[in-house]
């Protein structure tokens, strides 16, 4: 097995001075890989040199991954304090007193005493069952309301007070939502985890988060070719076929996926690519410590941005909403199109 010296992996400093690896490993199996396949990949990734793992209760695999963490500690592969372990609060646990229940289950499943970070997975309580179809709608789905969200966030803050969580953050937040949220926080989010890749670079979001000392974590950093069918449309960009990436990859003698990884780390956001194939997740982490992109190549990729969101999140639409664009506040303000209270 090829390995990488974890100490050579670049790190990013958080607002409180804590350090986190500049690349992590995602653990969402995209409805295609079993919990056992994902957890086995996590164990081998620890052996290879990964120290940051991005998980969530909704992925349905925390119990198996917890067994892997316990095994890695007992095998002496790594100490608990050497890993940065992140999980997320699922949408059906936003209610009063639900957050503590949710994190307690996650800690039990992962066999941990604390999480390094805990994120609110989506900024509303819109729930869908695993494997939901593109037209599935939960009748209780609703748009974002700051008063409701802050009730959840205040519970998140208490987890920090209790020592159960070191850092808290958000996911899938837009700039308008953050602008409503941040002035009301006692403890501000350390992360915002959102879709970012060369075809959807989210510069406005990235720069705003940076101005607020919020680190951007990128899910689907390679364009998520294996994303659920419900999120695919015929005109979606195939990121791995973008000519700019193909040309740069050819010049470096690597797959375009590794150019996406290099670009992310050099730009300053944290990619969390997922794979169950050892050769792929080794190559992903090895890419960040060798053969960097030139300034010219970084600029070529910047100009290649297509503003093409691939993860539409259609299953979270509320009754009366027109389409997936309503979720993402594209007009610069909270979008509640079609909502009737």
Which residue numbers belong to the known binding site? 121
Angle at 70 between CA 68 and CA 74, to 5 degrees: 115
Count of C-beta atoms within a 10 Å radius of residue 105: 14
Q: At what angle do helices 295-303 and 243-252 cross, to 10 degrees?
A: 160
Parallel, antiparallel, or unpaired for β 11-13 and 19-21? Answer: antiparallel
> Residues at the annotated binding site for substrate?
121
| 30 CB burial (10 A radius; 0-12, 13-18, 19+) | middle
Q: Which is catalytic among the residues 33, 50, 59, 127?
A: 59
Count of C-beta atoms within a 10 Å radius of residue 64: 18
Angle at 272 between CA 269 and CA 275, to 5 degrees: 150
Angle at 9 between CA 60 and CA 297, to 5 degrees: 100
The residues with which 218 forms a beta bridge, in sequence order, are 194, 271
What whole-number distance in Å separates Cα of residue 170 and Cα of residue 257?
26
133 alpha carbon, distance to own chain's centre:
22
Q: Helices marked H in 192-294 — which ranges?
A: 203-211, 243-252, 256-267, 278-286
Catalytic-residue membership of 59? yes
How far the first Cα of the chain sits from its last, in Å, is 57
Could you give the residue numbers annotated as active site?
59
């Amino acid at each position: 097995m090829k390995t990488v010296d974890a100490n050579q992996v670049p790190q990013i400093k958080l607002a409180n001075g804590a350090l986190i690896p500049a690349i992590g490993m995602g653990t969402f199996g995209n409805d295609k890989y079993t919990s056992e396949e994902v957890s086995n990949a996590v164990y081998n990734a620890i052996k290879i040199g990964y120290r940051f793992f991005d998980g969530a209760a909704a992925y349905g695999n925390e119990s198996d991954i917890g067994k892997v963490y316990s095994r890695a500690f007992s095998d002496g592969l790594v100490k608990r304090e050497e890993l940065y372990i992140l999980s997320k609060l699922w949408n059906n646990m936003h209610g009063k007193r639900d957050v503590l229940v949710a994190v307690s289950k996650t800690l039990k499943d992962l066999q941990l005493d604390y999480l390094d970070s805990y994120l609110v997975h989506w900024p509303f309580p819109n729930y869908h069952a695993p494997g939901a179809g593109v037209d599935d709608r939960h009748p209780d789905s609703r748009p974002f309301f700051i008063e409701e969200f802050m009730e959840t966030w205040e519970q998140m803050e208490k987890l920090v007070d209790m020592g159960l969580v070191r850092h808290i953050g958000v996911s899938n937040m837009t700039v308008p939502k953050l602008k409503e949220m941040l002035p009301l926080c006692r403890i501000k989010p350390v992360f915002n985890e959102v879709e970012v890749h060369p075809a959807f670079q989210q510069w406005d979001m990235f720069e705003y988060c940076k101005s607020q000392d919020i680190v951007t974590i990128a899910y689907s950093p390679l364009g998520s070719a294996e994303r659920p069918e419900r999120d695919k449309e015929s005109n979606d960009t195939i990121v791995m076929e973008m000519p700019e990436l193909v040309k740069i990859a050819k010049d470096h003698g690597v797959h375009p996926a590794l150019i996406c990884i290099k670009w992310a780390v050099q730009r300053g956001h944290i990619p969390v690519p997922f794979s169950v194939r050892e050769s792929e997740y080794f190559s992903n982490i090895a890419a960040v410590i060798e053969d960097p992109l030139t300034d010219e190549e970084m600029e070529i990729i910047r100009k290649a941005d297509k503003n093409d969101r691939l993860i539409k999140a259609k299953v979270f639409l509320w009754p009366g909403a027109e389409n997936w664009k309503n979720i993402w506040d594209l007009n610069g303000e909270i979008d509640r199109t079609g909502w009737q209270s």
